[in-house]
Structure 1
Amino acid sequence: MRALLTGSPEDMKRIQAEGKLDEWCNDNLKWLRDTFGKENVVSAVLHMDETTPHIHATLIPILTGERRKAKTEQPDGKRKYKKKDTTGNRLCADDVMTRVNLKAYQDTYAQSMQAYGLKRGIDGSEAKHITNSQYYRDLLNQSESIQADIKNLTEQREQAEKELSRIKGDIKTGELKNAVVSTTTKAVKRFNSLFDNKEITQKEQEIKALTNENNDLKKEISQLNNHIQKMEKDHKEETDKLNETLDKIYYLFPIIKEWLKIEELCRFIGFGKDMIKELTHRKPITFSGSLRSPEFNRHFNTENSTAKVEHAPEERGKLRLMIDGISDSEWFRNKRKEFLQMVGVKPKQTSKEEHGKRKGMKF
């Protein structure tokens, strides 16, 4: 479960300009711990890379208390409930994120932020949060974006190192030239004690200016290296935090990986966003058109077919896509047989080894 803590862009800029951003962060942490329990706050990360400073907090919805569970359905359509143990801990986001609790969170958060001039949002607003599945997809996209940034930084560093090598060569050449000129200058100075030569004085000044320019260039190169190292360190820390958060999410909610596989499979075979949304909400859909087979890498047409997602009976904790009452792989094989029979080609028997390879395809 996640929480986004921030204020309006104008308020956050004002807080930052007044030097109160650290106090604001500490008060946000206190509110999180007081509201959800210190042991349930997994992480709270301040993000400064966007237009408005904000905190991404990851929480574990662990509660101690009573939960009702449906027992039997009565003839009048109402369910009869029995009470469960009220002393044990349980993981239940539904009890934490109720409409009443969400309103209370907004009220208490607004009270704790009054010292910073932050005001509560409009009560009863129809604005909606993004879904959990969208949030996890955003996390994955963000991870891929960070990896791409690191790759770009690495390329920039390699280019900078090449430029540094070239500049060092130029500096070394300049130093050798300076050494030769210095020796010549000493001889000229001895000669100049007898004759006044303005041209020699001008050359000496040029040599001094070149030496100062080389020293400034060395400082700029050193600063560039330090900046690159800092950027790499910051990106590595951010990536490590993100991976740590994802590992915790996958450990606490292993079903998320299954839903991501189902979403990728549905997208690959040709379902649209709205259809995938219905399927991820465990709702059956009816469709017509063509679907792409992952096994045969071709499309098959269908009319008025139905699809839904259900738990795989043979594998605990696994999900599978069902089309017209059978698994998606079996449905595509049947479609292929129908096509081959229609064109008068006898279906080729698939060997056990080849079938095993196709069955092991990952999404």
Structure 2
Amino acid sequence: MSASPEWFVTATPEQEKALFQQSLQWLADKYGADRIITASIHRDETTPHLSAFVVPLTQDKRLSAKEFIGSRDKMRADQTSYAACVANLGLERGIEGSMANHQRIQQHYAAVQRGVEPSVTLLPSSVEPRVLEKASLLERVRGRGDLVEDAEMIAKRVTKDLNKGFAGTVATASTVAQEQRKAREARNTAKGLRKRLETFEGAFRGLTKDQVASVLKMASELQQENAKAKEQSKNKTVTKGKGFSL
């Protein structure tokens, strides 16, 4: 459990302490304090974070990691709930339903750093043969000259220098491409959210405020009934599984 690297840059020690305390409290409220075996803060990485080991013990004393983690909808709800828990520290939830792809932060900063490296300057002397080994006086007397690069060696050296020099430019272009990709992903996310909103608005179009309230109340009651029925069905399954034979 953590926050973005940017948040830690400006956060005070008190805010960091509050972040981890509130995160631990969120775990206790959600899973139960007795389910938390251990929790520790790691500061030996780029972004400090809290790691916790929680026993997935259900209310009816079963071990069920699947029930603890749940579906994608449940995980999204957990992210929203956790964001609300630490909102007082200036943290906000990421875009729900975002289509962004994860990229390692080391990759991003490495690309930025390479982008500011100076490029290579190709001079006439760069393509001139370089001396690999100077001839001794005795060798010169015997008519032997210095050992110099041949055409293939010159080509390899110049190519290597060019590749190294343009690596920063390529990385900068790559960073621009990354930003364009992020913008495209944000547009796709906004488009998806807009469609969901249009569907939601369409269901209430033409209704009065009181009618909308009635529909929302009915939907809430149906959700509670479904959750209750699901829990009852689960309990029946557990009861059947507790039989024995002689």
User: Normalized against structure 1, the TM-score is what?
Assistant: 0.26
Larger radius of gyration: 1
Considering Cα pairs closer than 8 Å and 6+ residues apart, tell me whether 1 or 2 has the greater RCO: 2
Normalized per residue, which structure has more helix? Answer: 2
The structure where strand makes up a greater share of residues is: 1
TM-score, L = length of structure 2: 0.38
